Structure 1
Amino acid sequence: MRANYIEELTSWEQGFSFYSEVSVRFSETDMYGHLNNTVTFAYFEYARIEFFKHVQLMNDWLDPKGTTIPVVADLQCDYIKQVFFDEKLRIYVKVNSIGSSSVDIHYMAKNEKDEIVFTGRGSVVQIERLTGKASRWSDKDKEVFQN
């Protein structure tokens, strides 16, 4: 593995528990039947939102009277194995580290053979809806991320 955010693969892989499942649609492939390289970011988004729903953070962010929203600050993907039309993937999500208003999230995609096919990481920042300025995580939010 060449991803600089993975120090030791086995322990990194064992740190994941939450995942969402996706099936590679025909429209997500190129003329060779490979998963298009831009689609992995949509898979990360889907799994990240499902994770945020799971830890009940989306409720606050979707509240029309809410004052904060999450934004993606950066996102990267490292491709390990080819992925093809109609494959079933599990997109794993975990919190790697928590800052005062940001969270570093790691991703791991596995195929039906339990092989890692791509990995990724990205930062999400919580901002004030009206000002666009960073908004600190509450103690409750930090606790949710650590569980």
Structure 2
Amino acid sequence: MKQSYIGNFEEWEKGFRFSVPIRVRFSETDMFGHLNNTVTFSYFEQARIDYLKKLGLMNDWLDPKGERIPVVADLQCDYSKQVFFDETVDVYVKANSIGKSSVDIHYMAKNANGEVVFTGRGAMVQISKETGSGVAWTEEEKDLFYARTRN
């Protein structure tokens, strides 16, 4: 794999600590039974939300009185193997790097044989509902991200 966001693949892969299993539905495939290339972004979303819930970050964002929300600033996916209807893939997610108000999130999906079928990355930014400007992570929030990326 030669994605620009992956340096040493083995080290990168070892950094994942969280995953969700996702079964490919019929409606997510083309007439040949292949997973549609747009669906992987929904898989990233599901894994990202479950990951953020696990970290404890979703509560404030979902609070109608909350002042901050997360937005996806960019997202990319690189495909390495075909995925078919009724397969289950484990979608891994991790915070790769944390900025002032952003986090670079990386993804990796493996099939039942343990083969990497697609990878991806995307920036998520925490913004103010009122102004739309970035809102810095608190030290506690940064610690939550860092705790899940260490052994």
Name 1:22's counterpart in structure 2.
22
Q: Does 1:140 align with 2:140?
A: yes
Which ranges of structure 2 fall in alignment gaps of 5 or more residues?
none
Name 2:13's counterpart in structure 1.
13
How does 1:1-147 map onto structure 2 within 5 Å?
Answer: 1-147=1-147
SS for the counterpart of 2:65 is coil
- CA apart distance, 1:57: 0.2
Identity over aligned pairs, percent: 63
Q: Deviations over 1:36-62 (max 9, x none)?
A: 000000000000000000000000100
* TM-score between the two structures when normalised by the length of structure 1: 0.99
* TM-score between the two structures when normalised by the length of structure 2: 0.96
Q: Deviations over 1:75-104 (max 9, x none)?
A: 000000000000001000001000000000
SS for the counterpart of 1:30 is coil
RMSD: 0.5
4+ runs deviating over 3 angstroms: none
1:71 alignment partner AA: V
Once residues 105 and 43 of structure 1 are traced to their aligned partners in structure 2, the CA distance between those partners, rounded to angstroms, is 13
SS for the counterpart of 1:4 is coil
2:104 alignment partner AA: D
- CA apart distance, 1:139: 0.6
